[in-house]
């Protein structure tokens, strides 16, 4: 990682890993985790906010595994440290001990289809008239070019939506809260934000509430995070979700709330399917309970005669448990998973993706040889993972392989922060269910229906974003003019 170097009021990690942004790569999206903590200044030495943030990001590591960063303030200046790699690779005891203060924000990031470069790591930082502002963002804006046009020439030094938003908040007069009330109502897309100046922590969520954000209470202090699991890890008590269209201000006066837009709740349905940790709660319901219930409903919708139900670990495990319960088919372990290999469906290189599948899973031949198997997974995006799994199981001696998926076909791209880049890349966007089955080489294929998935969440259909499944986008956006991170005109 190397030593840090200081630039103005901000310290960055070693820039040795930085590269030029590829101007032809026009569609990088973020699938990220954000965390923020504020404690009274007299608690700073005891609370160690940088370490709380480290553990919070560790709990959110599944949301972003390419870069990590922490910004911390001691009331006089903001210091930022960020670099490429996992949270535990970027930060060690010596680094965290230099990040002293009473409030902090943190971020872990996937570059998805964009370049995994140091410049794109967060939190971002901008100097202001009164000091500095650091910001961390989970989501994807769809009117980045429109927002960038509000800046004066020379105010924008990079071309990501997060950089544009940071610059706007930093250059508006009146401080971050006033700037946010001015800028956020005209910001379109998905955003869960944590940002800070030298003394105050802020949190905001887009009016649709597409990406999650929750508020927690420490014994003395406050925490905001992408998931409730991160609150648990740092010993914070869940208070509530940050409301869609809400801006929180947290300082010595406590938590104050302002509404910058009317709430139009459309929480991401794919959070229930895959993104969130199973020990997280969304809208008061355990993600684990939802996924097990999906498996039960999947078994009723797509029964089959088989000898064993196995999950694709770990994402298919809860639904496989539910499928086994409802079907009466024994649950078993069919694979050994290497836990140190990252997710495969969002790695940018096709070659690496295919290699990653083989690195990630190895079949247990003695458990599956001669068996009729039901293989339960959470989703099929491009089909590479499931195709390799079916092939591996057959090579290991499985008599039959029946694939069951605990989400409907992913047939539409996401413009709100999940890496479903184009419809052409989505196997269900181009093939029928029978054609997908044949492509995978499975004996049968069954997806949960959209209505049954929604029923499992205990949320009304009209409060969920289902765009990747049904093509109904809560924030209208044209695929060929989607306003993603890189701005061709800048």
Same domain, 160 and 299: no
What DSSP assignment string belongs to 235-250? TPEEEEEPPTTEEEEE
Query: Residue range 298-318: average pLDDT?
Result: 96
Give pLDDT, residue 114.
42
Give the separation between CA 15 and CA 85, rounded to whole angstroms: 13
Same domain, 373 and 431: yes
Active-site residue, selected from the candidate residues 32, 268, 414, 468: 32
Same domain, 200 and 327: no
CA 152 → CA 155, 177, 425, distances in Å?
6, 21, 38
Which position has the higher pLDDT, 174 or 34?
A: 34
Give pLDDT, residue 357.
60
How confident is residue 202, by pLDDT bands cut at 50, 70 and 90? very high
Q: Is residue 488 part of a domain?
A: no
Give pLDDT, residue 396.
95
CA 9 → CA 12, 14, 73, 74, distances in Å?
10, 16, 10, 12
Same domain, 244 and 285: no
Over the chain, what is the mean pLDDT?
Answer: 87
3-state secondary structure of 156: coil
Same domain, 185 and 295: no
SS3 content of the chain, % helix, strand, coil (to 5): 35, 25, 40
Q: Is residue 25 part of a domain?
A: yes
Q: Is residue 484 part of a domain?
A: no
Q: Is residue 489 part of a domain?
A: no
Same domain, 102 and 177: yes
Give pLDDT, residue 241.
98
Give pLDDT, residue 90.
94
**Has residue 94 got a pLDDT over 90?**
yes
What beta strand segments (E) does 148-225 contain?
Answer: 189-196, 201-205, 214-218, 221-225
Give pLDDT, residue 69.
97
**Has residue 176 got a pLDDT over 80?**
yes
| CATH number assigned to the domain comprising residue 250 | 3.60.20.10
Give pLDDT, residue 240.
98
**Has residue 469 got a pLDDT over 60?**
yes
pLDDT tens, position by position, 23-41 = 232 332 347 999 999 999 9
Could you give the count of Cα atoms lying within 13 Å of 182 in the half-sphere of its Cβ? Answer: 15
Query: Residue range 159-187: average pLDDT?
Result: 92
Sign of CA dihedral 351, 354, 356, 358: negative
Same domain, 12 and 79: yes
Please answer whether residues 99 and 72 qualify as being in contact, where contact means their C-beta atoms are separated by less than 8 angstroms.
Answer: yes
Verify whether residue 465 is a known catalytic residue: no
Among 225, 240, 266, residue at a domain's last position:
266
Query: Residue range 358-378: average pLDDT?
Result: 91
Give pLDDT, residue 25.
29
- Give me the domain span that covers residue 236: 5-266
Token pair listed for 393: 């199981």
Among 239, 266, 293, residue at a domain's last position:
266
Same domain, 295 and 329: yes
Same domain, 317 and 262: no
Domain count, the chain: 2
**Residue 337: DSSP 8-state:** E
Residue 385: what are its φ and ψ, rounded to 5°? -60, -50
Same domain, 319 and 252: no
pLDDT tens, position by position, 110-119 = 754 345 566 7
Same domain, 225 and 371: no
| CATH number assigned to the domain comprising residue 418 | 3.40.50.2020
**Has residue 343 got a pLDDT over 80?**
no
Q: Is residue 289 part of a domain?
A: yes
Query: Residue range 275-301: average pLDDT?
Result: 97
**Has residue 68 got a pLDDT over 90?**
yes
Give pLDDT, residue 205.
98
Among 215, 237, 266, residue at a domain's last position:
266
Same domain, 196 and 294: no
């Amino acid at each position: 990682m190397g030593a840090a170097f200081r630039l103005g009021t901000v310290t960055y990690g070693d820039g040795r890993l930085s590269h030029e942004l590829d101007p032809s790569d026009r569609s990088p999206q973020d699938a990220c985790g954000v965390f923020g903590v504020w404690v009274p200044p007299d608690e700073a030495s005891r609370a160690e906010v940088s370490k709380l943030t480290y553990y919070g990001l560790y709990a959110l590591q599944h949301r972003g595994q390419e870069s990590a960063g922490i910004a911390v303030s001691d009331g006089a200046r903001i210091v930022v440290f960020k670099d490429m790699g996992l949270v535990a690779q970027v930060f060690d005891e010596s680094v965290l001990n230099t990040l002293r203060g009473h409030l902090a924000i943190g971020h872990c990031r996937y570059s998805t289809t964009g370049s995994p470069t140091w410049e794109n790591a967060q939190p971002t930082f901008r100097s202001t008239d009164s000091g500095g502002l650091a910001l961390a963002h989970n989501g994807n804006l769809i009117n980045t070019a429109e927002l960038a046009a509000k800046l004066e020439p020379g105010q924008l030094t990079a071309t990501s939506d997060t950089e544009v938003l940071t610059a706007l908040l930093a250059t508006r007069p009146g401080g971050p809260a006033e700037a946010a009330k001015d800028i956020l109502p005209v910001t379109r897309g998905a955003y869960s934000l944590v940002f800070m100046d030298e003394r105050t922590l802020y949190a905001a969520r887009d009016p649709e509430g597409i990406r999650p954000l929750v508020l927690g209470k420490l014994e003395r202090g406050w925490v905001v995070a992408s998931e409730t699991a991160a609150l648990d890890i740092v010993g914070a008590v869940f208070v509530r979700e940050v409301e869609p269209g809400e801006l929180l201000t947290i300082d010595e006066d406590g938590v104050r709330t302002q509404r910058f837009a009317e709430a139009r709740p459309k929480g991401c349905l794919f959070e229930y399917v895959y993104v969130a940790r199973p020990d997280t709660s969304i809208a008061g319901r355990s993600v684990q309970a939802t996924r097990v219930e999906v498996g039960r409903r999947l078994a009723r919708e797509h029964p089959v005669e088989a000898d064993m139900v196995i999950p694709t670990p770990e994402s298919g495990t809860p639904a496989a448990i539910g499928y086994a319960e409802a079907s009466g088919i024994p649950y078993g372990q069919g694979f050994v998973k290497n836990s140190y290999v990252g997710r495969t469906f969002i790695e940018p290189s096709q070659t690496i993706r295919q290699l990653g599948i083989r690195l990630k899973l190895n079949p247990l031949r003695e458990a599956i040889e001669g068996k009729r198997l039901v293989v339960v997974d959470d989703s099929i995006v491009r089909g590479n993972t499931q195709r390799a799994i079916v092939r591996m199981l057959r090579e290991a001696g499985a008599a039959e392989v029946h694939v069951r998926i605990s989400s409907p076909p992913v047939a539409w791209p996401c413009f709100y922060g999940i890496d479903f880049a184009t419809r052409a890349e989505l196997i269900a966007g181009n093939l029928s269910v029978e054609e997908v089955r044949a492509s995978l080489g499975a004996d049968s294929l069954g997806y949960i229906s959209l209505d049954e998935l929604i029923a499992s969440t205990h949320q009304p259909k009209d409060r969920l974003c289902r765009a990747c499944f049904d093509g109904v986008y809560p924030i209208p956006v044209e695929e060929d003019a989607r306003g993603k991170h890189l701005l061709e005109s800048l």
